[in-house]
Structure 1
Amino acid sequence: MGTVKRWPRSSPGGPRKGCGNMVRVSESSEQVQNAARLWHEHRRAPFPAGLRGAEFGGTDMVLLDADTAGCVLTWLNNGGSLDPKRTRILRSCIEDLHRVIPQITEPAGTQYYDHLRQLALLVARTLGAREVGGLAARPGGCMPTGATTSASTAVRCGSAASSP
């Protein structure tokens, strides 16, 4: 799923003598594994019934879920990479999540979307600050609000497996 680096015994950055052939799992691989775990948790969570058909500031909650989940699933299926178009969509979804979560009054809905946001932020951090508009460099992954996900402007990242 991720990158595994093997050092030959003679490599300057590799293990010292007597350590055998050590394997270091890259940070990216660990992040993909963590995201996969969070993804499976998210898939088991029921979509909050009270948010079906709900919109906050023009953001359709079902589409926000589907778009974010589609980007995460594509990233997982690609072993931790996302093309520029989907990276922009993910950034927009994260902006929307930051903006709408405080407006959700249902505790189950807040928990569901906060978990989705954590997953999206984990994916975004692996993509790097340049690719995600500085997201990874900001404390807590917060971004200014801007684009919204709505029925008229939603673009799916991939086949979102999360369905309400």
Structure 2
Amino acid sequence: MNEAVLIEVTVLWAEHLGAPWPEELYQVDDRDGDVVEIDGAMAGCISTYVQERGVLDAKRSRILQACARDLQRILPRLRSEGARHVRRLIRIAELIGRSEEAVTSGS
């Protein structure tokens, strides 16, 4: 477990939880997934990661990364607060993914 990653994820997650839901996200065309559902799925995974102090099981890890890929496809259609909301979730998923790769590779 990488303590620096856990701290950064925890800070970003607290910021995310304190931010209002961008109305723009209700308007997004959902051909790449429903942002509300994606957000909820990611919330469960990220909360678990934070509560377990940097540990995430393989199933949640796969869900988190799949959701982040969906958000990457949605991101170009967003502006301002919606884009900031989605970028933050993608960043958290990237941090967790890199942290897990380091553990798997033995770094």
With structure 2 as the length reference, what TM-score do the two structures score?
Answer: 0.85
Unaligned 5+ runs, structure 2: none
2:100 is aligned to 127
CA distance, structure 1, for counterparts of residue 66 and residue 102 of structure 2: 14
Distance 1:108 1:70 in 2: 22
SS across alignment from 1:59: coil
Tell me the percent identity: 33
Deviation at 1:50, TM superposition (A): 2.5
Which residue pairs with 2:39 in the alignment? 65
CA distance in 1: counterparts of 2:29 and 2:103, whole angstroms: 30
Give me the whole-angstrom Cα distance separating, in 2, the residues matched to 1:130 and 1:89: 18
1:91 aligned residue: 65
- List structure 1 runs of 4+ shifted beyond 6 angstroms: none
Task: Tell me the C-alpha RMSD between the 2 structures.
Answer: 2.0
Unaligned 5+ segments in structure 1 are 3-27, 132-164
Distance in 2, Cα, partners of 1:92 & 1:73: 17
Higher share in strand: 1
In the TM superposition, what is the alpha-carbon distance from 1:121 to its structure 2 partner?
A: 1.0
Q: What do residues 92-126 of structure 1 show as CA deviations (whole Å, max 9, x unaligned)?
A: 0111111111122x321011111111111111111
Query: Would you tell me which structure has more helix in proportion to its own residues?
Result: 2
Q: 1:35·1:119 contact (CA, 8 Å) conserved in 2?
A: yes
